[in-house]
Amino acid sequence: MALLDLNVVSTLCGLTAVLVAAFIRLHWPFRFQYISSLYRYRPDLMIRWLETSYRRNGSRTVAMLDKSTAEIMRGNYELAEKFIAEGLTSCKEKPSLFNQAMVHYFFYNLSIVYLQRGKYGEALDVAFRVYERDHSLTNALGVIVCAHARLGDLGGAWEAYQMLPKKRLKPELQLFCLAEIEAAKGNFERAVQYLKKLLTLRFASILHLSRTEIEKRLEEWTKASTQAG
């Protein structure tokens, strides 16, 4: 009986060790990304850790993902698209389960790049496919809202906004989407009000966009509201 107890204990210990090792191995490439999240209110430090991921993860696809995120945060959208393309190519050449999961996040980053480069139709198409695959990624819905608004499709923008899960919705994303919708209506004064309220909040980024990018949009819409008045 003692031998049986020992075997059960040994089996459970062995299984636990295997699961822990598998968990660490799976998440190890993301260690720098996890560290960067600790500094989510310091974009400069976030970018530094994402750059560290790019240098230390070598040819892993997570390196390309983190590098593309860093370049989006800097506003270097053309360069970000280059790293996204490299990452997607790597995922295609090595279609492991890990890389199949990574494709989803590369396309999310690509939707943001398209949005910021004025390719609203492409941004809408890519973000829709991302959200269709993973409904938990509400930021993809944010891209959909903004893309519809930029295309002048107010009905589509509002419909997508209504789909945002209100219980888990971050106030900064909500305000950003409302600002985009109001700007699309030509209500720049209302859009400016939403952005000003947004900038009073403490947030890291919205759709990987820094406070600097939000301030640029505020300046643009403030001028537009003055001209409209």
First to last CA, the chain: 88
Asked whether the beta carbons of 113 and 77 are under 8 A apart, the reply is yes
Its sign, for the CA torsion 111, 106, 137, 127, is positive
Which residues share a beta bridge with 206?
A: 209
Which residues share a beta bridge with 194?
A: none
pLDDT at position 21 is: 42
The b/e string for 137-162 (b: 16+ C-beta within 10 A; e otherwise) is: bbbbbbbbbbbbbbeebeebbbebbe
Amino acid found at 36 = S
Q: Supply the angle between the helices 171-185 and 154-162 in degrees, to the nearest 10.
A: 160
Amino acid found at 205 = S
Which residues share a beta bridge with 209?
A: 206
Q: How far is CA 225 from the centre of its chain?
A: 30
**Which stretches of the chain drop beneath a pLDDT of 70?**
1-30, 34, 39, 228-229
What distance in Å separates the CA atoms of residue 140 and residue 136, rounded to the nearest whole number?
Answer: 9
DSSP secondary structure of 37-96? HTTTT-HHHHHHHHHHHHHHSTTSHHHHHHHHHHHHHHT-HHHHHHHHHHHHHHHHHS--
pLDDT at position 4 is: 46
The pLDDT tens digits of the residues spanning 16-27 come to 554 444 334 444
